[in-house]
Structure 1
């Protein structure tokens, strides 16, 4: 049993995180999407439709599943085929839009942006209570550099349907950052206003910490003397307090219950190690059970290697 336990906890990249049903679907899709056979396409579409049909009303879970599937299927024909076959299916339209947005993130250009917008708006019309078409449209707004009033208008549509939607808040972090025409001041104001009013364990709880990790990574990317003293970021009052607020509560059993809580725990483990708070990081690694996310570990190289090395350093500090 000890051997089996160690196998279960071996570090691994798992885009589904701890969503076992989604993980089973991804394995099934991996085994069948490359054949191109009509019957195979039908089977895959049916499996995706069935899974997305299970999470109606759980917008946090639905956002997680659509985002993972969009990334996973971006190089396949499945989202396009499903949307073409079922043009009145909100899930099919949303997945098709998200998959094209996911491809645009990698390629830097969104092809047929008008078509993506149309899919998002049509999905929103078919399922007016569903925030996920608006989450996808928010990404389109960023990629296409819409006016600020339009971006905030889309963001407000998401919040009207899902007040603490994690993806929407993290998307706004990117939009308000200097890389997209914003500034660090705007990010701080955005985060401060959120921290004052949000409950401690909502799906977007990691927005503040994500902002700090993003700033830390930006300092490292600049290189030179700044990178050499990047760790000083975590001694600043705001960064230290952000870690203090969550370092001990997030690892408590049942405290974080949202679909991407393991992604947020990866962010916390990375931040604690960057701040040289290794003893506090050890229980976070234990709670992760070896589930690794690409970001932020990929900043230092291979994410699995970086995660394993950090986990060993944290264990040695006990």
Structure 2
């Protein structure tokens, strides 16, 4: 397809076609496809990602509750019930809804039930990590444990360890921990976030999505500093910015199994490579996305981050520039 004719597609399932089918059924109030999908999910990484996407859609209906009522001994239904409760609690907290505290308590109880029903499953612990960001003052003791290394912060390290024990370097678990850092009522949380992602990536194996984490913190800094308002933006072409992008390309993108690569991670990597002027490197990431994209991080390059059309325009401009670079003489050097 010619670049000028290309229009990206946003879909929460991304390249996961089986998940797309289950989501279609879920939106009509049916749960059989969801059950069958989860029964045939082969690994914890896919299980974590699929249950997260399904819960984001299911949170607006009683479909999962109906499934659990029909099959009360179903482990998958129990885990999904916890997922949905956590999603509702997080949304209520974000919107400062008066029922937020009650939903938080219900979600916590749902996570404990899921952990009991599925003891080898990382998702109940990932869900508890998601709830930890609601405790902004770190009132609960489990949210202020001493860190495992220097330059880190007191936090829910026990919950992260439980998730890690069941699925080492679980992508969502570490992203939830990063969100906890942002929610902390303390000064210097951005520097704490930098220390955390560097610590996480330093021990992660090749192909791990944790090598993309530094790119998320860089986008967050750009957002906080209102980088889009600067006439000459040098935020992305710094030496450490380019280093983070190249490291994610070499240690994650090249080494990871393509079906396991998160669409959101691909977008952050393409964005970072484009921003650091490594256009031909970015081109291969854009091609790996196929027809799909996510509005973040591109939306942060616009003056109105809630404008989907603006995010798409930035994405298309970046994609076009990078694909064109493949046909230009003298590609930018690697190394």
- TM-score band, normalised by shorter chain: 0.7 to 0.9
Is the Cα–Cα contact under 8 Å of residues 236 and 242 in structure 2 kept in the other structure?
yes
2:81 maps to what in 1?
96
User: Could you give the per-residue CA deviations for residues 6-60 of structure 1, whole angstroms, max 9, x where no partner exists?
Assistant: 99x7410121121111112122333x22xxxxxxxxxx2222111111125x110
Equivalent-residue separation in structure 1 for 2:209 and 2:76 (angstroms): 21
Alignment of 1:31-50 (within 5 A): 32-33=28-29, 44-50=30-36
1:317 maps to what in 2?
325
Structure 2 gaps of 5+ residues are 146-154, 327-335
Is the Cα–Cα contact under 8 Å of residues 85 and 110 in structure 2 kept in the other structure?
no
1:219 to 2:219 alignment: no
1:271 maps to what in 2?
272
Query: What displacement does 1:66 show?
Result: 0.5
Ranked by relative contact order (alpha carbons within 8 Å, sequence separation 6 or more), the top structure is 1
Query: What displacement does 1:236 show?
Result: 3.4
2:330 maps to what in 1?
none
Question: Alignment RMSD, CA only?
Answer: 2.8
2:14 maps to what in 1?
17
Give the 3-state SS of the residue equivalent to 2:233 in structure 1. Answer: helix
Structure 1 gaps of 5+ residues are 34-43
The 10-residue stretch of structure 1 (70-79 or 60-69) with the greater mean CA deviation from structure 2? 70-79
Paired residues in the alignment total: 298
In structure 2, relative to structure 1, the CA distance for the partners of 1:296 and 1:316 (3 Å cut) is same
Is the Cα–Cα contact under 8 Å of residues 120 and 133 in structure 1 kept in the other structure?
yes
In structure 2, relative to structure 1, the CA distance for the partners of 1:88 and 1:21 (3 Å cut) is same
Query: What displacement does 1:207 show?
Result: 1.5
User: Could you give the per-residue CA deviations for residues 140-171 of structure 1, whole angstroms, max 9, x where no partner exists?
Assistant: 12123343226222111111111110001111
Query: What displacement does 1:261 show?
Result: 2.8
1:41 maps to what in 2?
none
In structure 2, relative to structure 1, the CA distance for the partners of 1:238 and 1:177 (3 Å cut) is farther
Query: What displacement does 1:92 show?
Result: 1.7
Pairing partner for 1:153 from 121, 137, 158: 158
Is the Cα–Cα contact under 8 Å of residues 17 and 263 in structure 1 kept in the other structure?
no
Is the Cα–Cα contact under 8 Å of residues 88 and 103 in structure 2 kept in the other structure?
no
2:214 maps to what in 1?
208
Is the Cα–Cα contact under 8 Å of residues 26 and 34 in structure 2 kept in the other structure?
no
Alignment of 1:146-295 (within 5 A): 146=140, 147-149=143-145, 151-177=156-182, 181=186, 183-220=189-226, 227-228=229-230, 231-247=233-249, 252=254, 255-257=256-258, 259-295=260-296
TM-score scaled by length of structure 1: 0.82
Is the Cα–Cα contact under 8 Å of residues 211 and 248 in structure 2 kept in the other structure?
no
1:80 maps to what in 2?
65
The 10-residue stretch of structure 1 (301-310 or 278-287) with the greater mean CA deviation from structure 2? 301-310
Equivalent-residue separation in structure 2 for 1:193 and 1:251 (angstroms): 19
Is the Cα–Cα contact under 8 Å of residues 209 and 268 in structure 1 kept in the other structure?
yes
The 10-residue stretch of structure 1 (243-252 or 90-99) with the greater mean CA deviation from structure 2? 243-252
Give the 3-state SS of the residue equivalent to 2:133 in structure 1. Answer: helix
